[in-house]
Amino acid sequence: MARSLRIGAQGRLVLPSAMRRALGIKQGDELAARIDGRRIVLEPRDELLRRMQEELREAGGERSLVDELIAERRREAAREHPG
């Protein structure tokens, strides 16, 4: 699906409802934006995080950096609130 879009005031861009529906994007959802060559790529933030976790997992073995961070936070919480 391709559409021509116009940049509005303050650089705002309105995504057509058909595109939002196709991707399940709703008001208030967060998108990640990145530049890829001469293109701007928008993707749901959760999808980007899942992809990054998978890439880190593949590069670093079984545990990803995110998994290690979560484990560290849980250990800290257990120390602060024992029992």
pLDDT at 77 over 80: yes
Domain ranges of the chain: 13-80
Hey, what are 36's tokens?
A: 């890829």
pLDDT tens column, 5-50: 999 999 999 999 999 999 899 999 989 888 999 999 998 888 888 8
* Residue indicated by tokens 């961070």: 69
- Name the pTM for this structure: 0.54
pLDDT, residue 48, reads 81
pLDDT, residue 20, reads 93
- DSSP letter for each residue of 16-27: -HHHHHHHT--T
Mean pLDDT of 53-69: 74
pLDDT, residue 35, reads 94
Q: What element of type H or E holds 39?
A: strand 39-44
- The three-state secondary structure class of 32 is strand
Hey, what are 72's tokens?
A: 């560290």
